[in-house]
Amino acid sequence: MKRLSPLTHRRYLVPLVLVTLLFFLWGVARAILDVLNKHLQNQMDISITQSSLIQVTTYLGYFLMAIPAGLFINRYGYRRGVVLGLLLFGAGSLLMIPGVEAGTFRAFLLALFVIGCGLVFLETAANPYVTELGPAETSTSRLNLSQSVNGLGCLFATFAVGQWFFGSGNIESVVLPYAVMGATVLVVALIFTRANLPEIAHADDASARLSRSHIAELLLHRRLFVFGLAALLCYEIAEISINSYFINFVTGQGWMDDSTASMVITCALAFFMVGRFVGSWIMRSVAAETMLLTCGCGAVACTALVLVDIGMVSMVALVAIYLFEAIMFPTIFALSLRGLGAYTKSASSLLMMTPIGGCGFLLMGLIADHVNLVVPFVIPLIGFAVVTAYALRLRHGRSHGGDGSVLQS
């Protein structure tokens, strides 16, 4: 019987635990948006389309700062990238306090943009770093495990913060969650200034001393990387759009009120977290490409059932999507970085531009406001279809020996 490779090495255990803590923090920050969206609709009397600017502004920060974050991390290392990201994240969270005092939607958006800029530094550093803290063959499983802790953060945000928002009935309720989050993040930043995070050296580091434009050109000529980049973008469009639209959809269908909806989305995110834990375990013995293909087919089928609109069957299918999509981000991310060696940091910064897919919720909002509440699910259906096609391409390449794993200059 083939012996399973260890998830990590003993010398990397403490760095892995510390970096995994970051996954929890940005899970909270991103999932709060899903309840903040509906809360501000209620308190500021804005439409779904207008409230989608919450996601658009936050993920615009990802898009604009992803490449600068990659350049910073390339030059100064993972630890300093994490510290800068935490400082921006904490500052943006605390900016929500004067935002509430100002009482304008634009003030909220400014704070969320700063948070988004901080989060992209964290994710650009943490995602590839986790893939390198152990054997290469368990990199996908390791990233799925860390991303499972991200799911815990999402659960906390949608349940605790959701109940707080919808139970308070006033705009001032935004202050406490963001004040606590800002203070916590700044304390964690202080911890990371003292932390010893070993930089991972690559045998081909010398080959990475090229101009950034040349590195980008090399990456964009690698077809599987480009396909992975597109698949990750489509996944982000599907996942963020569904999360952001969830409460609007189930309340608009008359199935439940806002408070109950925040509890149901918490249950859905519990499926999401379980899916990542289970997926991480399964992928220690099953090829990541196979797992991604299976989950892609499941997500497509469930989204199609939501579009059919057959009452509670569609409700169950909507929740089941979370189980199937759970392993997609870390799996696509790790597979896209496979064999890139010294180009990993640069490639990661390109991949971290993909949360701009959160702007897909704007399109869902426009469709919902002008057509009906069901048709917008065409958007995530297309997204999951692209992910499935990517997995199928990887499976085909694996069975035929692939197209080479190491990027050549």
Local confidence band at 131 (pLDDT 50, 70, 90 cut-offs)? confident
pLDDT reading at 407 higher than 70: no
pLDDT of residue 275: 87
Question: What would the CATH number be for the domain defined by 11-399?
Answer: 1.20.1250.20
What are the extents of the domains in the chain? 11-399
Mean pLDDT over residues 319-323, rounded?
A: 94
Interval 130-147 mean pLDDT = 78
- Work out the pLDDT band at 221, boundaries 50, 70, 90: confident
Would you state the pLDDT for residue 150? 83
pLDDT band at 19 (very low <50, low <70, confident <90, very high): confident
For the cut 60, the answer to whether the pLDDT of residue 212 exceeds it is no
How much of the chain exceeds pLDDT 70, in percent? 91
What is the per-residue pLDDT across 290-312, written as a single tens digit (0 to 9) for each?
999 999 999 999 999 999 988 88
- Averaged pLDDT for residues 371-391: 95
Task: Indicate the range of 106-115, 154-163, 295-304 predicted with least confidence.
Answer: 154-163
The alpha-helical segments, DSSP class H, found in 171-222 are 175-194, 212-220
In which band, very low, low, confident or very high, does the pLDDT at 314 lie, cut at 50, 70 and 90? very high
Which residues are CB-contacts of 217 (< 8 A; sequence separation ≥ 6)? none
pTM of the model: 0.79
* pLDDT reading at 85 higher than 70: yes
pLDDT for 207 equals 47
